[in-house]
């Protein structure tokens, strides 16, 4: 942690004057200035809240949209003090903020999610222990923290070695088939604490998003089906039949148990692997709104971001109705490059001529391949119409799209 007595006070960077808003009496504070924070800020402002974001980047996506931004590092106590002073309730838009920051802020203002839940999500070893304690099965796994652990873990090969902390979107992971590959991967990761998960034959991947209030009331979105490429989410299918009903019910029940076991307050996403034999295991959890839930902005009466606001500000939670079949396509920086590798403006006008196409760009200044720059959600009156339109949008943008075969 930086010493507040020896560092300059963070700048309260005014993106837009608070006087421009209709309601200044209640302010939402957000730790983190990425795209999730941006969409949370939009949801809060729509409901009349003022917003303040803390992020070290002065041009952060959420800071661009917020009434105010505190430009400070996440471990800067002076920044924490400014944030607590400026808001009435606090939340975080990603899980790798210091848990100490949430503990410190919770002594001054209402904070969700709770620090202890975020701390478990930050450590894969503790996360898997929590899943097991809740009676939710994980893939066979072992912690790798010592040389003896490494030798014992070889019995699970082939497997995936993952750093216990700071891994996301496929980062901090290595597929290992032999003991030599496992040792080399651990060396490459700096011999930090890791977990080795046995590699299983997957049929599909799903996620479930729930919101739990301080009173213990839980609501959920229907489970969605996800497709990843290179460890990064590419497509989310959110419509009846994308996930079988019996499986959906089981996954929702498991997610509720996980949230209740954490005494969670906020929006929580849990990802699952469905195996080829029809069984399933839990993968990981995210203590925040999730990429696979972005479709809820356009396809549901209440989005995951509105539910995050409601849990933070202790507003009533209502079960969100999914009113339109939908598909979400992630827009990585690759879309900004043509076949020759030259940077371009993607053909936004062409996709916007299609009804039911909702484009969301995150305001990021630097275009990089593999970087999440935005998403597009497609909605339609029927699943067949939806998949036709999603395939058309994907073709225009040069994105992969796999049409799901849905039982009648």
Written in H, E and C, the secondary structure of the chain is CECCCCCCCCEEEECCCHHHCCCCCCEEEEECCCHHHHHHHHHHHHCCCEEEEEECCCCCHHHHHCCEEEECCCCEHHHHHHHHHHCCEEEECCCCCCHHHHHHHHCCCCECCCHHHHHHHCCHHHHHHHHHHCCCCECCEEEECCHHHHHHHHHHCCEEEEECCCCCCCCCEEEECCHHHHHHHHHHCCCCCEEEEECCCEEEEEEEEEEECCCCCEEECCCEEEEEECCEEEEEEECCCCCCHHHHHHHHHHHHHHHHHCCCCEEEEEEEEEECCCCEEEEEEECCCCHHHCCHHHHECCCHHHHHHHHHCCCCCCCCCECCCEEEEEEEHHHHECCCCCECCCCHHHHHCCCCEEEEECCCCCCCCCCEEEEEEEECCCHHHHHHHHHHHHHHHCCCCCCCCCCC
User: Is the confidence at residue 301, as pLDDT, over 70?
Assistant: yes
- Section 373-402 average pLDDT: 97
Query: Closest Cα to residue 209, out of 285, 311, 116, 132?
Result: 285
Q: What is the pLDDT of residues 63-86, one digit of tens each?
A: 999 999 999 999 999 999 999 999
- Decide if 11-111 and 140-198 have a common fold: no
307 confidence band (pLDDT: 50, 70, 90): very high
Average pLDDT, the chain: 92
187 confidence band (pLDDT: 50, 70, 90): very high
pLDDT at site 354: 97
User: Is the confidence at residue 16, as pLDDT, over 60?
Assistant: no
Q: Identify the bridge partners of residue 327 per DSSP, sorted by sequence position.
A: 237, 378
CATH of region 11-111: 3.40.50.20
For residues 384 and 403, give the distance between their C-alpha atoms in angstroms, rounded to a whole number. Answer: 10
For residues 7 and 76, give the distance between their C-alpha atoms in angstroms, rounded to a whole number. Answer: 9
For residues 162 and 139, give the distance between their C-alpha atoms in angstroms, rounded to a whole number. Answer: 13
pLDDT at site 349: 97
> Which burial class, exposed, middle or buried, applies to 369 when counting CB atoms under 10 A from its CB (0-12, 13-18, 19+)?
exposed
Pairing of strands 326-332, 224-229: unpaired
96 confidence band (pLDDT: 50, 70, 90): confident
So what CATH class is 202-397? alpha beta
pLDDT at site 405: 86
Query: Closest Cα to residue 285, out of 273, 265, 271?
Result: 271
pLDDT at site 327: 98
pLDDT at site 12: 57
User: Which of 115-119, 345-349, 393-397 has the weakest average pLDDT?
Assistant: 115-119
Q: Is 101 helix (H, G, I), strand (E, B) or coil?
A: helix
171 confidence band (pLDDT: 50, 70, 90): confident
Q: Which residue has the higher pLDDT, 183 or 15?
A: 183
User: Is the confidence at residue 231, as pLDDT, over 90?
Assistant: no
pLDDT at site 204: 95
pLDDT at site 47: 94
Pairing of strands 173-176, 159-163: antiparallel
User: Is the confidence at residue 9, as pLDDT, over 70?
Assistant: no
- Section 104-117 average pLDDT: 94
pLDDT at site 407: 60
Orientation of helix 124-133 relative to helix 245-261, angle to 10°: 110
User: Is the confidence at residue 19, as pLDDT, over 60?
Assistant: no
- Section 123-138 average pLDDT: 97
Q: Which CATH number fits domain 140-198: 3.30.70.260, 2.60.120.560, 3.30.1490.20, 3.40.50.12780?
A: 3.30.1490.20
Give, rounded to a whole angstrom, the gap between the first and last alpha carbons of the chain.
Answer: 57
Domain ranges, ordered by start, for the chain: 11-111, 140-198, 202-397
User: Is the confidence at residue 186, as pLDDT, over 50?
Assistant: yes
167 confidence band (pLDDT: 50, 70, 90): low
pLDDT at site 25: 61
How far apart, in Å, are the Cα atoms of 167 and each of 171, 173, 200, 262, 276?
A: 5, 7, 20, 21, 26
pLDDT at site 1: 43
Instruction: Extract the tokens encoding 128.
Output: 């898997």
- Section 351-377 average pLDDT: 96
Query: Closest Cα to residue 193, out of 145, 121, 122, 125?
Result: 145
User: Which of 45-54, 95-104, 268-277, 330-339 has the weakest average pLDDT?
Assistant: 95-104
- Tell me if the pTM is above 0.75: yes
Rounded percentage of the chain residues whose pLDDT exceeds 90: 88
Q: Backbone dihedral region of 18: left (phi > 0), alpha (psi from -120 to 50 degrees) or beta? A: alpha
């Amino acid at each position: 942690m930086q010493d507040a007595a020896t560092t300059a006070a963070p700048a309260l960077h005014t993106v837009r004057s608070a006087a421009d808003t209709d309601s200044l009496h209640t302010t939402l504070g957000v730790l983190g200035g990425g795209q999730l924070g941006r969409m949370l800020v939009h949801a809060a402002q729509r409901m009349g809240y003022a917003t303040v974001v803390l992020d070290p980047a002065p041009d952060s996506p959420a800071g661009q949209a917020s009434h105010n931004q505190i430009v400070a590092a996440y471990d800067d106590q002076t920044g924490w003090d400014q944030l607590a002073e400026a808001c009435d309730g606090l939340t975080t838009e990603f899980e790798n903020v210091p848990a100490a920051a949430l503990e410190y802020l919770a002594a001054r203002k209402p904070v969700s999610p709770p620090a202890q839940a975020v701390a478990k999500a930050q450590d894969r070893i503790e996360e898997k222990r929590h899943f097991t304690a809740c009676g939710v099965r994980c893939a066979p796994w072992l912690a790798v923290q010592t040389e003896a652990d490494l030798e014992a873990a070889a019995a699970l090969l082939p497997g995936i070695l993952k750093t216990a902390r700071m891994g996301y979107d496929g980062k901090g992971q290595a597929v290992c088939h032999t003991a030599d590959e496992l040792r080399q991967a651990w060396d490459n990761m700096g011999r930090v604490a890791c977990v080795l998960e046995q590699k299983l034959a997957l049929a599909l991947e799903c996620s479930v998003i729930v919101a739990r209030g301080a009173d213990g009331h839980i609501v959920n979105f229907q489970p969605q089906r996800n497709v990843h490429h290179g460890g990064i989410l590419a497509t989310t299918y959110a419509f009846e039949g994308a996930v079988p009903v019996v499986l959906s019910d089981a996954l929702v029940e498991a997610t509720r148990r996980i949230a209740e076991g954490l005494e969670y307050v906020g929006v929580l996403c849990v990802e699952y692997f469905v195996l080829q034999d029809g069984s399933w295991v839990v993968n990981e959890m995210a203590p925040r709104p999730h990429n696979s839930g972005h479709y809820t902005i356009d396809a549901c009466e209440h989005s995951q971001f509105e539910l995050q606001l409601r849990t933070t500000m202790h507003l009533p939670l209502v079960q969100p109705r999914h009113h339109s079949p939908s598909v979400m396509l992630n827009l990585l920086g690759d879309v900004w490059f043509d076949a020759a590798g030259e940077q371009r403006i993607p053909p936004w006008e062409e996709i916007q001529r299609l009804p039911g196409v909702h484009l969301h760009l995150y305001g990021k200044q630097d275009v990089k391949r593999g970087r999440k720059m935005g998403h597009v959600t497609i909605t339609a009156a029927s699943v067949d119409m939806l998949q036709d339109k999603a395939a058309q949008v994907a073709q225009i943008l040069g994105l992969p799209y796999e049409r799901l075969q849905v039982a009648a």
